[in-house]
Amino acid sequence: MSIKHIIITGASKGIGAETAKYLCSKKIAVTAIARSQTELTRLQQMYPDLLFPLVLDITLSSAASDITAHLKKNKLSIDGFIHNAGLLINKKFLDLSDDDWNRQINVNLLAPARLTRDLTPFFNSESHIVCISSMGGYQGSSKFPGLTAYSASKGALSIMSECLAVELADHNISCNSLCLGAVQTEMLNQAFPGLKAPLTAEEMGRYVGDFVLNGHRYYNGQVLPVTVGNPD
Ligand SMILES: NC(=O)c1ccc[n+]([C@@H]2O[C@H](COP(=O)([O-])OP(=O)(O)OC[C@H]3O[C@@H](n4cnc5c(N)ncnc54)[C@H](OP(=O)(O)O)[C@@H]3O)[C@@H](O)[C@H]2O)c1
């Protein structure tokens, strides 16, 4: 396939779904990954020629081989990979169980690490990995009770993305981390019930879509705050 192809995890709703729609509207092919078949099918009906739905749980050990099979079957390579799927466990630190910590780290850090490692052979030269982190995981930002495991996992994701820019330089793959501020989605409602965010998922989807296509011409190995708030 000669047109660009971007993989987005967590594309069934929120920022991931809006990023997928934006990229397809720009005639970019997208593999949209999530666990919810119904939502992905709805997306595919909007862009039947450009959107490839792939129903899977990124934490399963079979995830990378399932994506590999999908790429081979559809003769796709990778120009961009957006590690967007995220889990947010909102629980006070003293109440967090080992299982909570494992689930939090597994979705937000280990799955992106495994997928990047196992899919590197499919990346084209000059491709771009974008890790969707959070202002909660940005050093020196305001911190909130209940978000320790989430923020720690996102901080680790950002540091991993700095390291990947170095590790994957020989493959000519760039990697950056976007630390998002509040965006109106189900996840935000769960973390901060009733909070009115300054940005919609659609607005952030446009930003992330443009960034995966062009951001690596300006940045590599960077951890970038994406917020109109003051990260104090
Ligand atoms: N909204 C905000 O204010 C905000 C702020 C900072 C950072 N972020 C980050 O932005 C990203 C997107 O967040 P959002 O607000 O759009 O969240 P959202 O609406 O809750 O969407 C999360 C997405 O992740 C997918 N997902 C979760 N676990 C998965 C798994 N194990 N395997 C595959 N897919 C999985 C969900 O799909 P299924 O349930 O269908 O699998 C869904 O598509 C997250 O990484 C989040 O941490 C959001």
Determine, yes or no, domain membership for 32: yes
pTM for the model? 0.98
How many Å is the maximal CA-CA distance in the chain? 52
Q: Locate tokens 């989807």: which residue?
A: 205
Residue 231 lies in a domain: no
CA distances to 31, 32, 50, 52, 180 from 184, in Å: 24, 20, 26, 25, 11
- The pLDDT of 139-158, averaged and rounded, is 96
- By the 10 Å C-beta count (0-12 exposed, 13-18 middle, 19+ buried), 27 is classed as exposed
167 in any annotated domain: yes
Q: How far apart are CA 43 and CA 57, in angstroms?
A: 18
The total number of structural domains that make up the chain: 1
pLDDT, position 2 = 66
Q: Is residue 59 part of a domain?
A: yes
In whole angstroms, what is the distance from residue 173 CA to residue 128 CA? 6
- Residues framing ligand 1 (Cβ under 6 A): 9-16, 33-36, 57-59, 84-88, 107, 132, 134, 180, 182-183, 185-188, 197, 201
Q: Which pLDDT band, with edges at 50, 70 and 90, does 232 fall under?
A: very low
- Domain span at residue 160 reads 5-226
Encode pLDDT of 70-95 as tens digits.
Answer: 999 999 999 999 999 999 999 999 99
Instruction: Report the CATH number that the domain containing residue 217 is assigned in CATH.
Output: 3.40.50.720
Q: How far is the CA of 56 from the centre of ligand 1 (A)?
A: 14
**pLDDT digits 0-9 by tens, 12-48:** 999 999 999 999 999 999 999 999 999 999 999 999 9
Alpha helix segments (H runs only) across the chain = 14-25, 37-46, 63-73, 98-105, 111-119, 148-167, 186-191, 201-214
* Mean pLDDT of all residues in 122-150: 97
Question: For a pocket test of ligand 1, which of 61, 131, 185 has the largest count of ligand atoms closer than 8 A to its C-beta?
Answer: 185
- Whether 232 is covered by a domain: the verdict is no
